[in-house]
Amino acid sequence: MNIPQSSFPRVVIIGGGFAGLAAAKGLEKQELQVVLIDKHNYHTFQPLLYQVATGGLEPDSIAFPLRKRFKDVENFYFRLAEVHQINPEQNSVETSIGCLDYDELIIATGSTTNFFGNTNIQKNTMEMKSVPQSLNIRSLILENFEEALLTDNIDERNALMNFVIVGGGPTGVELAGALAEMKKGILPKDYPDLDIRQMQINLIQSAECLLKGMSAKASEKAEDFLISLGVNIWKNLRVLDYDGKIVKTNGEDNFRAETVIWAAGVKGENIQGLQASSIIPRAERYKVNEYNQIEKYTNIYAIGDVACMQSEKNPYGHPMMAQPAIQQGKLVAKNILAKRFNKKQNAFVYNDKGSMATIGRNKAVVDLPKWKFQGVFAWFVWMFVHLFSLIGFRNRAVVFLNWVYNYIRFDRETRLIIRPFKAKNQKINF
């Protein structure tokens, strides 16, 4: 991998998402050599992927080149690679571009879509965890409408205009809201020869309420907002199968739809090589102690979505979201430095700053620890927080400009089919 040997210990970080980036920042300008490995050369701001999928933002404005972030940092190395295997006995990782030794290893590989073993669903539904996947969804939505124009078969046309989103968490809710706004403001103008009223947006949630991690008020209000936008909400309904044509559920309702977006679950993106007992079955996350260390390996840490720190308070670990990831990344960096100076490592305590979701124009829900509010103000808070969480002045400026434009013009302009999805009949996930 052509990384020079150094007199400083080497910390290898796998993954440049929220967790890995926070760890890398915490370790910069120290007497350490830091190697960050990612399969993309950019950091993705995942909370805004749904706006890329629905034509509101350019993909480039929610991604940031990792090399640029660390361009003036000494003893920092970025490598574009996939890690295939960890060899804890040899303190090394095997990657697509060769083998690398480490003194400390931080696994921050994040999460991937969980299809719960259903290969039909995996093959036929769309996921939205990366920029390319979001662009696939954007293309598919638009290609469906182009195709719906051409058919006189009413069932076929309805299926093309029927969007099923599985999963009532933040991703599903935000995507359903954004699609509903496309239906309202954009599609009737773009497709005057289609009756856009026939477009359906079905949001299917297996639990008894939306946004399960949030307050009852937020969940209720989100539902109201979605209903006011014309989204059909199906609660206590579980999707069992999808063959590309019919969505089968455990209820009486099945759906004929050409587009199913799977936002019903994620699982840890773990890497093989550690002992089997390190990994929690189904969730596939690494079991870590309060220092984010994986049991039995004192120099291997897992942070963010891929880590599961079980406690009485959090029997299933922390939520798989940006905040715990960032906080764990920061703390692990501090703990690695503490260890080097033979100081005590600090246990992780999650500081829950709250959570929020946006449903549409002037419609958002915000749960702060001491204050829960919904509506216009919540929407402004949501925008403010997301704008300032983006990396880079240019990204912030471009996103801000797009939001202002979209708000004033009731428009979303980046509706280009740059990666035709259907026409080429393949999922390109890169």
Cite the active site residues. Answer: 174
Beta bridge partners of 372: 367
Residue 376 in contact with its own copies, rule: CB under 8 A:
no
**152/158 Cα distance (integer angstroms):** 10
Of 208, 210, 246, which Cα lies nearest the Cα of 121?
246
**DSSP string over 85-106:** EEETTTTEEEETTEEEE-SEEE
Contact pick of 29, 71, 197, 353 for its own copies (by CB under 8 A): 71
List binders of its own copies among 399-418 (CB under 8 A).
401-402, 405, 411, 413-418
Beta bridge partners of 164: 202, 260
Beta bridge partners of 166: 204, 262
Of 260, 232, 194, 269, which Cα lies nearest the Cα of 427?
260
Residue 246 in contact with its own copies, rule: CB under 8 A:
no
Residue 99 in contact with its own copies, rule: CB under 8 A:
no
Quote the least distance from Cβ 284 to its own copies, whole Å: 25
Query: Of the two residues 97 and 338, which places its CB atom closer to its own copies in the complex?
Result: 97
Contact pick of 36, 63, 93, 182 for its own copies (by CB under 8 A): 63
Query: Of the two residues 18 and 234, which places its CB atom closer to its own copies in the complex?
Result: 18
> Which of 144-152, 172-180, 261-269, 359-367 is the region at the interface with its own copies (rule: CB under 8 A)?
144-152
**313/396 Cα distance (integer angstroms):** 36
**295/286 Cα distance (integer angstroms):** 9
**290/345 Cα distance (integer angstroms):** 10
**141/45 Cα distance (integer angstroms):** 22
Quote the least distance from Cβ 59 to its own copies, whole Å: 6
Contact pick of 265, 403, 420, 427 for its own copies (by CB under 8 A): 420
Quote the least distance from Cβ 386 to its own copies, whole Å: 18
Long-range pairs for 245-249: beta carbons < 8 A, 24 or more residues apart: 245/159, 247/164, 247/166, 247/204, 249/204
Kind and range of the H or E run holding 207: none
Quote the least distance from Cβ 51 to its own copies, whole Å: 12
> Which of 103-111, 189-197, 232-240, 365-373 is the region at the interface with its own copies (rule: CB under 8 A)?
189-197
Contact pick of 25, 40, 235, 238 for its own copies (by CB under 8 A): 40
List binders of its own copies among 121-140 (CB under 8 A).
131-132, 135
Region of 375 (left: φ > 0; alpha: ψ -120 to 50; beta: rest) is left
Cβ atoms within 10 Å, residue 198 = 13
Cβ atoms within 10 Å, residue 170 = 22
Quote the least distance from Cβ 138 to its own copies, whole Å: 10
At residue 263, φ and ψ (nearest 5 deg) are: -125, 35
Contact pick of 109, 136, 162, 395 for its own copies (by CB under 8 A): 395
Residue 42 in contact with its own copies, rule: CB under 8 A:
yes
List binders of its own copies among 145-164 (CB under 8 A).
146, 149-152
Query: Of the two residues 276 and 418, which places its CB atom closer to its own copies in the complex?
Result: 418
Residues at the interface with its own copies (CB under 8 A): 1-2, 4, 40-42, 58-61, 63-65, 67-68, 71-72, 77, 79-80, 97-98, 131-132, 135, 142-143, 146, 149-152, 189-193, 392-395, 397-398, 401-402, 405, 411, 413-420, 423-424, 428, 430
